[in-house]
Every structure is written in C-alpha cells, then in structure tokens.
A and B are shown apart, each in its own frame.
Chain A
Amino acid sequence: MNTNSNTYTVIYTTLVCVLVAAILAFVSQLLKPKQEANEKAETISQILTAAGFDEKAHWQEIGNAATIDFYKENLAEAYTVSAQGAQVKSLDKAKADIYSVSDLKVQNRAIKAGKDYEIPVYTFTNGVTVIPVYGAGLWGPVWGYLSFDASLDNIEGAYFDHESETPGLGGKIKDDPAFRAQFKGKNVNYADAKAFEIVKGGAPADKRNAIDAITGATMTSKGLDEAINNWLGAFKAYLQGRIQAKAAEAEAAAAAAAEAEAAETETQTAE
C-alpha cells in the first residue's frame, strides 16, 4: 500500500487521533474520583496552612484522611456569603464540604461581571476566619487563602497556589515561605484606594496593608494583587459587617459593665 498518498495520510491521522482521544477520555473518567479526592484534600490542606495550624509539608506527611479529620475537628462553621454580606447557606461540616478551585473560578467570573455571587468563608474554633481569593497570574490562574484572627484586624496567614506560573519566579507565591510570611500581622484597610497592596520595589514600612512584590515576577505579583483586591472587595460587606457587629458587642459589654459598676457604687452609698 502507498503510505504516502493523501487519502491514506488523512485517514491514518484521523484514526490515530480518534483512538488517542478515546483512550484519554476513558482513562480520565476512570481516574476522576481519585483525582478529585486528592484535590479536595489538597484544598483543605491549603486552607489549614493559611489558617496557621501547621506548615504545608505537615499535611502531606499525615495524609489525606488525617488532614480532613483535622479540618472537621477544628472547623467552627463553613458557609457562603453574598455581596450584601449575608450568610446564604451552610457548607456541610460532616462531609467537609468546601469550594474547590473550579468553584472559585465560577464565582470569580460572577464577581468580575458584577453579578450575584456566593463565596465561601471558613471559621475555625480558635477564632481564625479564612477567605479565598482567585485571579489571573501571568500564565494561568492564581488562587489562595487569607486568614484573619478573631479581631479581623490582623492577617493571621496566607497560602497561595497557581496553575502554571514560572518556577523560581512567579512560582514563589507558593514556594517562597518568606513571601507568605510577610502577610502575618498585616491588615486590610477598606478606607484606602486599595484594601491591600503588593508593592513593586518594596512596601513602605509604616503601611500596614501592603507587602513587597516578588523580584522578577511583576506580572504574577500584579495578578495576585488584583485577585486579593477583587475578592476583598467581594467580601467587604461581610467583613465590615462582622467588625461592626463585634464593635457593637464590645460597646454593649462596656455599657453593661459601666452600669454594673454604677449599681455597685449606689449600693455602697446606700450603706
């Protein structure tokens, strides 16, 4: 047979492609549940790392099952919130329901388009609150988690991941512990033009809501900055609502204490 004829070439190439596509589709379907379980455990370990429970390597060491158990034990509540800051629905704790990266992608599109969105919040029994962020880096999506302590005025920690940023440059958002360590003790300030900033050339020392960008990774740093600000904007109503509720609570407590004191002085005078 003439293997160089056009008809043969076209038929041969088509057959090879169809066959390869079929094999890949079959394998992908076959392995999907396992891969999804791994991805879920990975996301949970990222949330736990951002919350400051332990370093990322620890979760790998103890394995998927133990990581998910730890998450269930220490989770106070996980729920989604709307643009108005209202709690929409609760995420099942027993099933360790979380928003996967692809869920975040869907919500990110809604946030950017100005449509209604539902984004997850994870609160832990030690008072830490974790929120996700998602955006575009240089080559692909970047995402991650920011955690706040009980006062919501201090960032407790952060963890970021990416799909295809350059290793050693943009990849540092994930691999460089020094970059992530910068987040601790910072805060989010909605009064500024940017609630949080990643500054190229170094953040001013007196600015609490800014950190240094990564050298050699301008576009990834910019992308992450945008991701953080977009999502902080989306969480604005929720976070401010909680801070106000906390302030009102503190005020009420102070008022109650003052009243109790006044009552005490009164009884003393009466005596």
Chain B
Amino acid sequence: MADAAIAGVPASRPRLDSFWVVPPLLILAALFFYPLSLIVREALGGNEAFTLSHFSEVLSSRRFLDGLYNTIIIATCATAGCIVLGFVLSLVIAFVPFRGAKSVARLIDTFIALPTFLVTLAFTFIYGSAGLLNVSLIRLFGFDLPPVDFLYSQWGVILAETTVYTPFVMRPLLATFSQIDQAQIEVASSLGAKPLRIIRQIILPAALPALVAGGSLCLLLTVNEFGIVLFIGAKDVITLPMLIYSKAIQEFDYTTACVIAVVNVALSLSLYTLYRLIIAHFGGNRAGVV
C-alpha cells in the first residue's frame, strides 16, 4: 500500500517540472531570440524576398575583410598575452612566498568587476600623447613629438585588452595552483629537477585545463570587445563590433550591420562551442589526471 503510494508520487512530478521551463524560455525568447531573429531576417532580405546577396556583397568587401582580420589578430594576440601574463603572475602569486600574496589574489578578483573603459582611461593618462610617460620623456630629452605612440594603434588595443582580461585567466589558474600537491613539487626537486623543469613538466600539465579554459574565455570576450576599441579611438583599428556600430549608428546601413552581426554571432558561437568542448574534454576525459 505504502509502496503504491510512494510509486504514485513521481508520476505527477514531470508535468509540474516541465511547467517551470516555460518562464525562462519566454524571457529568453523576448529578450534574445526575437531580436536575434529580426537581425537574421534583416540580413536575409528583410521584408523583401529571401536573398543571400547581402551576405555575398558584405563578405567580399574590403572593409569587412579588414575588420575580420583585425578582430582575429587582436583577439589572438590579446589572448596569447593574457595566457602568458596570467600564467607568470599566477605562478609568482601561488609559488613565490611573499607577504600579501593573498591580498593580491583578492585584488585580481576585484579587478574583474571594474568597467573595461577604466583601464583604457588609465592607459590614456599614462601612454597617451599628453600622458605621463610622453610628458616626462619630452621634458627629459626635449623631443618635439610624443615618442611613445602605440596607444592609438592595434598594439594599444591589444595591450589594453590583455590588461583587462588577464584576470580571467588568473582566476582559474590560481584555483588550480592551490590544488597542486606541494609534495609533487618537492619530490621533483629532490629528484634533481630545477624550477623551469618543474614548471614545464609538473605545474604546466596540471594547469593546462585551467589555462585553456581561461584562454578560450578571453578569446571569446576579445572577439566581441567593443568598449576598449571605441574608447581608445584608434582610427585605423576597425574590428567587427566597431564595423557594426559604424554601419548601424553612423551610416544607417542596417542591412550591412545585420549581416556583419550574424557573422560575429556565428564566430562567437563557434568559439563558445570550442570552449565547451575543451572544458568537457578536460573535465571528463582527464578528470583523473588533473
């Protein structure tokens, strides 16, 4: 009797559970899928007949190709910078004993919460034409023009993005480093391994999943970065988000903007899929390894 009563309970559960999926789906549809569908619709001809002609026109244009090239180069270089800088800084914080290491780690968490333009603004104050560095150099050496002039170029964007997104690599890395068995490092050292070998053969393999996950996240974020590029105001640095902005807001060419937006979304989703696959690979297949 009791068994029958217990057995009867789960039967009515799934219907109730299914109901709760509806509100978030409705919100998602209203806020995300509907606007996205409008963009795709506009890119494919809008109110007129379905056509791919806008795509072929935009995708073959010099401006789009430059934008795509810039986007990929900036995102790749900034991500590489984040990985290298994040790994080195995390190593120092985690393995070099110094007073205040924990405070520095907490500060990095805070850094993630700051708006991206703040770093760009700071860069302008330091490296800009009238920034601290240039003014000091001009006073010291009497230059006619500001000698440091990288900020308004592709390299300025890369440096700013590297600075902003490095904490995204450091957070998972520091979490991983805190779990590495100190005894492994000590035993490796007792076996004759010098620090560089220990980093290469013991720490790096253990940190690889965190490094790849953090790096993938950085790549995803830098591909879509808009604020930093806009704030720096580098005239020759046109990325896909900047191109969408200029087409839609400055030129009122919504169709072209929508086509580029669709490409940007496809690029982002591809990167996100890659990110999930990497996480699944390390989280599943190599769970016992790291």
A binds B: no
* A interface, CB within 8 angstroms of B: none
Query: Which residues of B come within 8 Å of A, CB atoms?
Result: none
